[in-house]
Amino acid sequence: MHQQDPDEIPLSELLGNSGESVPRVVSVARQGGFGAPSIQVAKKSSSAALSEDELPLALLIGTERKKECSRRKGKVEPCRKAPKRKCERMKAEKHRKAKKLQATSTKHRAEDESIKWCSLEHNGVLFPPEYEPHGRPLLYDGCEIALPPEAEEVATFYASKLGTVYLEKETFRKNFFDDFRKTLPVDLRKRIVKLEHCDFSRIREYLDELKERKQSMPPSKRKELREAEAQRVAHYTVAIVDGRKEKVANYRVEPPGLFLGRGDHPLMGRVKRRIFPEDVTLNLGRDAPIPPCPFKGHDWGSIVHNQRVTWLACWRDPISDEYKYVWLSASSHFKAMSDQEKFEKAQQLSKHITKIRNEYTKGLESADRHTQQRSVALYLIDKLALRVGNEKGEDEADTVGCCSLRVEHITLQEPNIVQLDFLGKDSMRYFNRVRVEALVFHRLREFLKGKRVSDNVFDELKVEELNDYLKSLMPGLSAKVFRTYNASYTLDKLLHSVKTPGPDIHSRLLFYNEANKDVAVLCNHQRSLPKTHSLMLERLRDKLEESRAYLEALKMARGKAQASPDSRAQVTRWRRPVVEIPEDCSLAERKRIREEAEKRPKEKQVVNMGLASITRGIAQTQEKIRRLEADLKTRDSLATVSLSTSKINYLDPRITVAWCKRHEVPIERIFPRALQEKFMWSMGVSEDFRFPISNVVSNDPSGAST
């Protein structure tokens, strides 16, 4: 579908929260009749108008009849406000792509278009509550300005971001202010022209008050509210698929707000408008009752019965204009099946991997530039677990993957070291220096020759071509299978590298996490440093220091005690003085006092101890020191690594389950409840399970980094 130029959107539509200004479906025609599927073709609001060939596939599949009825009604509305350039560009693009799709991927589609369910029942989606105006003014040049509800809501979105890094970004502020002004009535729009003159602090105060009120709520009251909320939403949390009761993952419609985005996103700060029932398409069984629309005077955008997909509802994201879907949870049958297929495919790859590696190694020698590029790209994908790197649009952050690498991202260092430095998915930095095959190095040097920094390294390679090629090597193979394969292969190998991974559960878990960490590093799964990380490390070091000093003092005292007639001796210990915190001060105040206290000098304490106590103290302190040292080490090395992503997406759970069985580690120590449910299908695996290992010895991805 087209994306409207924001300037073309009437402001009432941009926001559309309060009832009056929303364009809505006037009536919903229910066709049907004798044995016919009941199909609704809703009249769309202008912003959602679809010409027939723009209808989502979902609306067209297997429904000759539907075409008929929409034609009969002649209700295909043209775009009321034809959004120019963008609309046309996107249409042309779509035609091109649609043709291509038809030509190239019939097989893929045939597989994709299998029937996924026979009966499907659910209760629709849960909308966020209506906006409730608070009446706090905006200050403009110091003057109070009462905003109408739509504008107030947007101003409040902004106020909630005060003090975050978003506001330091020019793009964010500009996008916000442009959209904000569109919500203002004409007179105010004339007056409010500079963001720098806007003061949102009164609104912020209101938000802080709300927060404070919420936080000071007694736990009992909190619990009560939580339970009431659970009851309110219970209706939406389950669906019935082919008679099975399944959990719905994201039954909540995304609330309006400011679009944040990741990295340097050109649309950050834009207002993400509210979604209404008219925007939403529900997918239901033909016999399933249609859930009543929760808003009076509104109705669902459309109802479809598409058995070839697994989503329950969809709408278009107002920012990207892409579809958002409501899915079943990860523990559902659908998801479990595709998860199993995914790991099945990865195991398949291990049977072909030798052949494939030989293939692309041979390809490096080819005289054909295209084959060379394809081979080098595949080498990097396989060896470094890079993502394939599709093309990106102008309205997205500038991030890259393998095929979209530019000259500026690669530095070559004789004789054979390649340095990669680029922003990947989610604008996460990928930085790695690796030793590569001589020929790969040579080819890369050729690819870079004579190009500008902003040129593509793989200028003669398209992602589709690479994937088509992979399909020819093994059915269903695509670039991401290499990530799954290499991640699982690595974990399996590491977990089998040691017979007895530790005397107790604690050390075995440490061992597992270490292996998990290697995979996470391979996949470049990062997390941001927790705010207090350095402070925490400092405290740990301080404690370590203190314990070491205490140990020395104890040892010295032991000698003295042994020599003394009464077997006693003085032990000196340095500690920070205990602070008194007044009972009736606020949380913030307490925190401040605590922080103050940490700066105070340590005080000397002298205790008279018996020999037995001293000896015990020594053992305890030594143990404590060991613990602190280990802690310090793991925390530091795990600080910026995220283990969960690979656990959830890349590691065949059977590897973990088998390891747990072999080493008597309860599975819940590694898989939290949700993951246990997601991976239920893997729990029965035998303890001898191996993730198939290829007979190729070279190219071990876990050893790729230098």
Hey, which residues between 548 and 607 contact DNA (CB under 7 A)?
A: 578, 581, 590-591, 594, 607
Residue 704 Cβ, how far from DNA at the closest point, in Å?
16
Environment class of residue 688 by beta-carbon count within 10 Å: exposed (0-12), middle (13-18) or buried (19+)? exposed
Q: Which of 38-46, 97-105, 452-460, 656-664 is the region at the interface with DNA (rule: CB under 7 A)?
A: 97-105
User: In a 3-state reduction of DSSP, which class is residue 578?
Assistant: coil
Restricted to residues 449-468, the positions that interact with DNA (CB under 7 A) are 463, 467
Q: Across-strand partners of 271?
A: 258
Identity of the residue, 141 or 421, whose beta carbon is nearer to DNA in the bound complex: 421
338 binds DNA (CB under 7 A): yes
Residue 594 Cβ, how far from DNA at the closest point, in Å?
4
In 3D space, the residue among 9, 277, 27 whose CA is nearest the CA of residue 127 turns out to be 277
191 binds DNA (CB under 7 A): no
Identity of the residue, 323 or 574, whose beta carbon is nearer to DNA in the bound complex: 323
Tokens 């032990």 map to which residue? Answer: 571
Residue by residue, what is the 3-state secondary structure of 336-392?
A: HHHHHHHHHHHHHHHHHHHHHHHHHHHHCCCCCHHHHHHHHHHHHHHHHCCCCCCCC
Residue 265 Cβ, how far from DNA at the closest point, in Å?
5
656 in Cβ contact with 670 (< 8 Å): yes
222 binds DNA (CB under 7 A): yes
Identity of the residue, 194 or 599, whose beta carbon is nearer to DNA in the bound complex: 599
Restricted to residues 476-505, the positions that interact with DNA (CB under 7 A) are 478-481, 483-484
133 binds DNA (CB under 7 A): no
> Which one among 9, 55, 241, 293 touches DNA, defined by CB under 7 A?
55
Give 230-267 as a DSSP string.
HHHHGGGSEEEETTEEEEBS--BPPPPEE---SSS-TT
Count, residues near DNA per rule CB under 7 A: 105
**C-alpha to C-alpha distance for 122 and 126, rounded to whole angstroms:** 12
482 in Cβ contact with 694 (< 8 Å): no
Identity of the residue, 122 or 147, whose beta carbon is nearer to DNA in the bound complex: 122
656 binds DNA (CB under 7 A): no
Q: Across-strand partners of 570?
A: 608
> Which one among 8, 317, 460, 514 touches DNA, defined by CB under 7 A?
317
Residue 184 Cβ, how far from DNA at the closest point, in Å?
24
Restricted to residues 511-530, the positions that interact with DNA (CB under 7 A) are 523-528, 530
> Which one among 79, 167, 260, 667 touches DNA, defined by CB under 7 A?
260
**C-alpha to C-alpha distance for 493 and 497, rounded to whole angstroms:** 6
Restricted to residues 423-442, the positions that interact with DNA (CB under 7 A) are 424-428
For residue 39, give Cα distances in angstroms to 113, 119, 304, 329. Answer: 20, 16, 7, 27
For residue 330, give Cα distances in angstroms to 238, 476, 645, 672, 679. Answer: 13, 22, 14, 13, 9
Identity of the residue, 272 or 357, whose beta carbon is nearer to DNA in the bound complex: 272
134 binds DNA (CB under 7 A): no
- Percent helix, strand, coil in the chain, to 5, is 50, 10, 40
> Which one among 646, 656, 682, 702 touches DNA, defined by CB under 7 A?
646
**C-alpha to C-alpha distance for 192 and 139, rounded to whole angstroms:** 10
Residue 416 Cβ, how far from DNA at the closest point, in Å?
26
Q: Mutual orientation of helices 479-496 and 463-473 as an angle, nearest 10°?
A: 60
> Which one among 43, 136, 204, 265 touches DNA, defined by CB under 7 A?
265
Q: Which of 151-159, 333-341, 367-375, 551-559 is the region at the interface with DNA (rule: CB under 7 A)?
A: 333-341
**C-alpha to C-alpha distance for 412 and 433, rounded to whole angstroms:** 9
Residue 385 Cβ, how far from DNA at the closest point, in Å?
9
261 binds DNA (CB under 7 A): yes
Does the annotation mark 650 as catalytic? yes
86 binds DNA (CB under 7 A): no
Q: Mutual orientation of helices 653-663 and 479-496 as an angle, nearest 10°?
A: 10
**C-alpha to C-alpha distance for 672 and 667, rounded to whole angstroms:** 8
254 in Cβ contact with 324 (< 8 Å): yes
**C-alpha to C-alpha distance for 309 and 312, rounded to whole angstroms:** 9
252 in Cβ contact with 126 (< 8 Å): yes
User: In a 3-state reduction of DSSP, which class is residue 665?
Assistant: coil
Q: List the x/- string, 200-219, binding to DNA by CB under 7 A.
A: --------------x-----
539 binds DNA (CB under 7 A): yes
Structure tokens at 540: 């740990």
Give CA angle at 227 (132, 310), nearest 5°: 80
255 binds DNA (CB under 7 A): yes
Strands 313-316 and 302-304: unpaired
Provide the CA 505 distance to its chain's centre, in angstroms.
31
Q: Hey, how many other C-beta atoms are within 10 angstroms of the C-beta on 312?
A: 26
302 binds DNA (CB under 7 A): no
Residue 364 Cβ, how far from DNA at the closest point, in Å?
21
**C-alpha to C-alpha distance for 309 and 326, rounded to whole angstroms:** 11
Structure tokens at 193: 């022209």
501 in Cβ contact with 477 (< 8 Å): no
Tokens 């905003």 map to which residue? Answer: 147
Residue 325 Cβ, how far from DNA at the closest point, in Å?
4
Restricted to residues 339-398, the positions that interact with DNA (CB under 7 A) are 339, 342, 387-390, 392, 396-397
**C-alpha to C-alpha distance for 25 and 40, rounded to whole angstroms:** 12
Tokens 């922080």 map to which residue? Answer: 595
Q: Which of 65-73, 130-138, 637-645, 652-660 is the region at the interface with DNA (rule: CB under 7 A)?
A: 637-645
> Which one among 292, 475, 672, 703 touches DNA, defined by CB under 7 A?
672
- H or E segment to which residue 289 belongs: none
Identity of the residue, 206 or 325, whose beta carbon is nearer to DNA in the bound complex: 325
Q: Which of 64-72, 199-207, 500-508, 667-675 is the region at the interface with DNA (rule: CB under 7 A)?
A: 667-675
Q: Which of 151-159, 438-446, 472-480, 497-505 is the region at the interface with DNA (rule: CB under 7 A)?
A: 472-480
Identity of the residue, 63 or 147, whose beta carbon is nearer to DNA in the bound complex: 63
> Which one among 306, 371, 621, 656 touches DNA, defined by CB under 7 A?
306
Q: Which of 137-145, 259-267, 658-666, 685-693 is the region at the interface with DNA (rule: CB under 7 A)?
A: 259-267
101 binds DNA (CB under 7 A): yes
106 binds DNA (CB under 7 A): no
84 binds DNA (CB under 7 A): no
1 binds DNA (CB under 7 A): yes
Residue 438 Cβ, how far from DNA at the closest point, in Å?
27
> Which one among 547, 645, 682, 702 touches DNA, defined by CB under 7 A?
645
681 binds DNA (CB under 7 A): no
58 binds DNA (CB under 7 A): yes
**C-alpha to C-alpha distance for 636 and 19, rounded to whole angstroms:** 53
Residue 185 Cβ, how far from DNA at the closest point, in Å?
27
> Which one among 120, 151, 275, 309 touches DNA, defined by CB under 7 A?
309
Residue 269 Cβ, how far from DNA at the closest point, in Å?
12
Residue 478 Cβ, how far from DNA at the closest point, in Å?
3
Which residues carry out catalysis?
650
